[in-house]
Amino acid sequence: MTALPRLDGPLSACPACAAAPAAERLAGTAAAPARIILSLPGVHCAGCISAVEAGLAGLPGVASARVNLTLKRVSVAAAPGVAPATLIAALGRLGYEAHELDAGLLSATDTDRQGRDLLMRLGVAGFAMMNVMLLSVAVWSGASDATRDLFHWISAAIAIPTVIFCGRPFFRNAVAALRAGRLGMDVPISLAIILATAISLYETTQGGHHAYFDAAVMLTFFLLAGRYLDHRTRAVARSAAGVLAALEVPRATLIRDGAETEVPLADLRPGDEVRVRPGGRMPADGVVVTGTSERDRSLLTGETLPIFAGPGSAVAAGEVNLTGPLTLKVTAAGRDSSLHRMADLVAVAESARTRYTSLADRAARLYSPGVHLLALAAFGSWMWATGGDLRLAVNIAAAVLIITCPCALGLAVPAVVTAASGRLFRKGLLIKHGTALERLAEVDTVVFDKTGTLTLGAPELQGIDDHDPADLALAAALAGASGHPLAQALHAALAARGVVPAEVTDLREVPGYGVEGKAGGRVVRLGRSGWAGTGEAAVTATYLGRGAGPAVAFTFVDRLRPGATAAVAGLQAQGKRVMLISGDGPGAVADLAARVGIADWTAGALPAEKVARVAALAALGHRALMVGDGLNDTAALAAAHVSVSPASALDAARAASDIVLLGNDIAPVADATRIAGQARRRILENFGISIAYNIVAVPLALAGLATPLAAALAMSLSSVTVSLNALRLK
């Protein structure tokens, strides 16, 4: 496609960058480098570009890195052995949050090619429009006779190939619409373009005064501009779907005849035995055969307290194994697992959403038949009034079609949507669905999930000063030996305080229970309440058993997601009703609701109850925005009028939601509803502007007073005002 050698390595626009891979090829080092694409929601300036590119290029095995600031991505060419996780960790040290993207899905060059194809047609139409317009200005300012005819012929020579080449997207869609028995936007557009060109050609051969070549080309140009903007927005939405490609490889470790083999999830059958390592996700529903551990159910149910798992406990697919290795006997896999049943709930809820008709569709449905009837009426009445002057009647009908052609209408929605989604993207929100912005504008109720949405799902130690320094020193020593999230949070908090760990020997982790060691001749334990020697508290806690006396509880609260309070306050200031529906226990939910200022909260909600609550809101005529991240939210996300999920959410939840929050901060949700409301107002204003122009211009056209100059003026003025209005979005 290009003459420059950039088939491997990142794309670049400068010859020096393009020369780098070529030089490597000469040196024989670039042995098929793997391309890794990372999403970088935080890059925003020239400094970020240098920092990221230099930081990544310094890593071993990385051939080159190129940041795309527009898409907020970095594309890395690295040796096959380089793991994306090391790159993400390196970026984390530089202060940039990064997520891996699926390179295979993103290199979908098909949409890319379509975009460039449209841009090419737009460029050709722009070139033709400028030249034809220059010639037309000469005609309008009084060129006559042979000069006028010459100018018309030159215009025809430019306009006809342009219309044929640039109008193809419209013609193709119009034919498809007619075949399906519909009248889309494209039928009147194609009719106007073709009729204007044909009439003008006929007039030119007859030496007539009026030729509409400029109008035909201008129409093509403005409509292509709208079409290109529309395509860009949809391409971004589609690549957003690529962003959400599953990061985890769906595999399980199957134990067969004592040997472990990696198999795809689809191959699991009930009765199989699988091994789940600490930190891994349960691949299927099952019963624990051997091993003890704790499991984190927060993504499934919203509960923050880890639950004990030992021989005989039933586990569900999607839970995370925390401390010890487990062997499961599969009871339900694939289609029958609880995970999949949840996905079915989503499918049912989603079918409701596809019934939403966008503003543009509603406008087109009113507009197309009206325009055709108007042109037909003009043709008929002029035929009757002039006693059968076909040439005049067709001229006037064409003028009506040109004047009413939805230039401004075609730009009204794409221009606003592009401006708004660009603004939201800069705030870290990725719009996945075409009509999400419009639906977001209608929202009056916002439903939040707790764990992982308003909180980070990361525990934070409470009341560190209430403890005896000796206990803290013991806890610091024990916590450092465990991989359990609570122990690690405790260890980090104590290390930050500068607590010196006590002398503890014989440290060992007892999977499912906690950590044990010997200090001063006594057995000390950190872990579950019963094991450490005390009763369970109602809040998230880990317990320190000192060998004598009752155990001490270290309590944790879930850390608030940054911007949670701001988001809730912002939404409430916009007059929206804010609710919190969580699967967690009442204590934790009430505490969080009080911290962020939500009065209306529900605790202990099962996934089906969440859907029911959201559906009940819809039945009462409310439009709900659901913000959630867990599997237990997935169905509710799909059932809500519009939904947002953070990038840290499970892929099922992200797939079910319309908008993905790329950054860690949740505050942009409040901005999003505000911008969406503004965007909707601008779209309606734009419709108003187009209608106003038509009200002025259509009577002129019907009366036969519309000259090519009037058509050109009306068209360009309305298109420019509509685009400028879209840019007013703040």
Partner 1 sequence: MNVLAYLIPVSLFLGAIGLAAFVWSLRTRQYDDPEGDARRILNRDWDDRPKP
Site membership for partner 1, residue 249 (CB under 8 A):
no
Site membership for partner 1, residue 229 (CB under 8 A):
no
Q: Closest separation between CB of residue 89 and partner 1, Å? A: 24
Site membership for partner 1, residue 45 (CB under 8 A):
yes
Q: Closest separation between CB of residue 37 and partner 1, Å? A: 13
Question: What SS3 class is residue 679?
Answer: helix
Which residue number, 150 or 703, has a Cβ lying nearer to partner 1?
Answer: 150
CA angle 65, 67, 71 (to 5 degrees): 140
Site membership for partner 1, residue 308 (CB under 8 A):
no
Q: Closest separation between CB of residue 68 and partner 1, Å? A: 4
Burial 514-553 (b: 16+ CB within 10 A, else e): bbbbebeeeebbbbbbebbbbeeeebbbbbbbbeeeebbb
Site membership for partner 1, residue 124 (CB under 8 A):
yes
Considering only the C-alpha atoms of the chain, give the largest distance between any 2 of them, rounded to a whole number of Å: 117
Return the residue of 20, 408, 515, 611 that touches partner 1, per CB under 8 A: 20
Site membership for partner 1, residue 85 (CB under 8 A):
no
Site membership for partner 1, residue 29 (CB under 8 A):
no
CA distance 20 to 79: 15
Which residue number, 94 or 458, has a Cβ lying nearer to partner 1?
Answer: 94
Total residues binding partner 1 (CB under 8 A): 33
Which residue number, 87 or 132, has a Cβ lying nearer to partner 1?
Answer: 132
Per-residue 3-state assignment (H helix, E strand, C coil) for 255-303: EECCEEEEEEHHHCCCCCEEEECCCCECCCEEEEEECCEEEECHHHHCC
**All residues at 6 or more sequence positions from 114 whose CB lies less than 8 Å from its CB, including other chains:** 231, 235
Site membership for partner 1, residue 206 (CB under 8 A):
no
Q: Closest separation between CB of residue 128 and partner 1, Å? A: 9
Site membership for partner 1, residue 473 (CB under 8 A):
no
Site membership for partner 1, residue 27 (CB under 8 A):
no
Return the residue of 26, 27, 28, 47 that touches partner 1, per CB under 8 A: 47
Binding map of partner 1 across residues 552-591, x = CB under 8 A, - = no contact: ----------------------------------------
CA distance 41 to 727: 24
Stretch that binds partner 1, among 39-47, 343-351, 594-602, 635-643 (CB under 8 A): 39-47
Stretch that binds partner 1, among 122-130, 405-413, 512-520, 706-714 (CB under 8 A): 122-130
Q: Considering the candidates 214, 285, 296, 449, report the single residue annotated as catalytic.
A: 449
How large is the angle between the packed helices 359-385 and 390-404, nearest 10 degrees?
160
Asked whether 298 and 630 are in contact (CB, 8 A), the reply is yes
Q: Please report, as residue ranges, which positions from 128 to 157 form the binding site for partner 1 (by CB under 8 A).
A: 130-131, 134, 147, 150, 154
Site membership for partner 1, residue 360 (CB under 8 A):
no
Residue 131, Cβ neighbours under 10 Å: how many?
17
Q: Closest separation between CB of residue 661 and partner 1, Å? A: 21
CA distances from 81 to 23, 34, 36, 37 (A): 21, 9, 11, 15
CA distances from 680 to 187, 229, 358, 420, 442 (A): 26, 17, 11, 10, 9
How far does the chain reach from its first CA to its final CA, in angstroms? 39
Token digits for 602? 């529900």
Exposure of 152 in the CB half-sphere (CA atoms within 13 A)? 25
Asked whether 39 and 99 are in contact (CB, 8 A), the reply is yes
Site membership for partner 1, residue 236 (CB under 8 A):
no
Site membership for partner 1, residue 111 (CB under 8 A):
no
Which residue number, 46 or 85, has a Cβ lying nearer to partner 1?
Answer: 46
Asked whether 479 and 487 are in contact (CB, 8 A), the reply is yes
Site membership for partner 1, residue 70 (CB under 8 A):
yes
Return the residue of 32, 46, 620, 695 that touches partner 1, per CB under 8 A: 46
**All residues at 6 or more sequence positions from 704 whose CB lies less than 8 Å from its CB, including other chains:** 382, 392, 395, 396, 399
Q: Closest separation between CB of residue 66 and partner 1, Å? A: 9
Token digits for 569? 């306050």
Q: Which residues pair with 448 in a beta bridge?
A: 580, 627
Return the residue of 95, 104, 116, 377 that touches partner 1, per CB under 8 A: 116
Site membership for partner 1, residue 26 (CB under 8 A):
no
Site membership for partner 1, residue 376 (CB under 8 A):
no
Asked whether 162 and 125 are in contact (CB, 8 A), the reply is yes
CA distance 345 to 638: 9
Binding map of partner 1 across residues 153-192, x = CB under 8 A, - = no contact: -x---x----------------------------------
Which residue number, 11 or 376, has a Cβ lying nearer to partner 1?
Answer: 11
449 as an active site residue: the answer is: yes
Which residues contact partner 1 by CB under 8 A? Answer: 1-2, 4, 11, 13-14, 16-17, 20, 45-47, 49-50, 54, 67-71, 116, 119-120, 123-124, 127, 130-131, 134, 147, 150, 154, 158
Q: Just list the catalytic residues.
A: 449
